[in-house]
Structure 1
Amino acid sequence: MVTTVTSFGRSGVFDWLYQRVTAVVLLAYTLFIVGFIFFSDDFGYQSWSALFAQGWMRIFSLVALLSTLAHAWIGLWSVVTDYITSRTMGGKATVLRVLVQMLLGAVAVYYAVWGIEILWGV
């Protein structure tokens, strides 16, 4: 049986709930961006830059970025724990699963730092 030590939530129900909440955040962000692009009178660099210069948009973008990372982590955790199991890989499955999850976690942290640098960098 696979333990939930590296899971995002405390149980499958919490992971399911986190993934649904992050999906709603991502839907709201996507609809806002698409609406801004289509309903902007003068869509170009100036309006795009002015939008992202506002603090609320940076916070909204940060929440969307963190939601993307949480959503992806839960989804990838599910896939990794489903396909890298002792039944298919033998005794080394736990080590391989932890290594894959560490790699995915490192990529997620890198993307989070990079996104924060883009949003609030100089």
Structure 2
Amino acid sequence: MVNSVTDLGRNGIQDWLILRITAILIMLYIFYILGFILISGKLTYDTWHNFFSLTFTKVFTLLTLFAVLLHGWIGIWQVLTDYIKYIALRLIGQVVIVIFLLACATYGTLIVWSV
């Protein structure tokens, strides 16, 4: 069995399971937001502010953000490992993407908890 330098010890079953769990979480968040929009009637700044001031909404939003980033990382990782055969180029791409995803996670956390 050949081990890739960039696989981080995961296997296909773990990736499949993570993708399914994150997809379910993203779907539940979409239903949560759509339910709020349908129930709240007229949306104003105060309505949105009060909604996103709830601790549950903040935590759910942050979990969903991390789920989106993890879901995206696995997808990008699979594309990179399938189509970029040069290990050095693949590692550079992965490092750039990881830095971008960490920046998104940091910035998203600051946005969610600053409300």
- One fold, TM greater than 0.5? yes
Q: Residues 75 and 4 of structure 1: is their aligned pair in 2 closer, same or farther, counting only changes over 3 Å?
A: farther
How far has the Cα of 1:4 moved from its partner? 6.0
Q: Deviations over 1:53-84 (max 9, x none)?
A: 01111000000000001000000000011110
TM-score in terms of structure 1 length: 0.86
Q: How does 1:27-106 map to 2 (within 5 A)?
A: 27-85=27-85, 93-106=86-99
Gapped runs of 5+ residues in structure 1? Answer: 86-92
What is the aligned-residue identity percentage? Answer: 35
Which residue of 2 is the match for residue 14 of structure 1? 14
Contact 2:22 2:71 in 1 (8 A): yes
Alpha carbon RMSD of aligned pairs, Å? 1.6
Which residue of 1 is the match for residue 108 of structure 2? 115
How far has the Cα of 1:121 moved from its partner? 2.6
Runs of 4+ in 1 over 2 A off after TM superposition: 4-7
Q: How far apart are the structure 1 equivalents of 2:82 and 2:3?
A: 9
Q: How far apart are the structure 1 equivalents of 2:93 and 2:10?
A: 20
TM-score in terms of structure 2 length: 0.91
Q: How far apart are the structure 2 equivalents of 1:121 and 1:47?
A: 16
How far has the Cα of 1:3 moved from its partner? 1.2
How far has the Cα of 1:2 moved from its partner? 6.5
Gapped runs of 5+ residues in structure 2? Answer: none
| Count of residues in Structure 1 that have an aligned counterpart in Structure 2 | 114
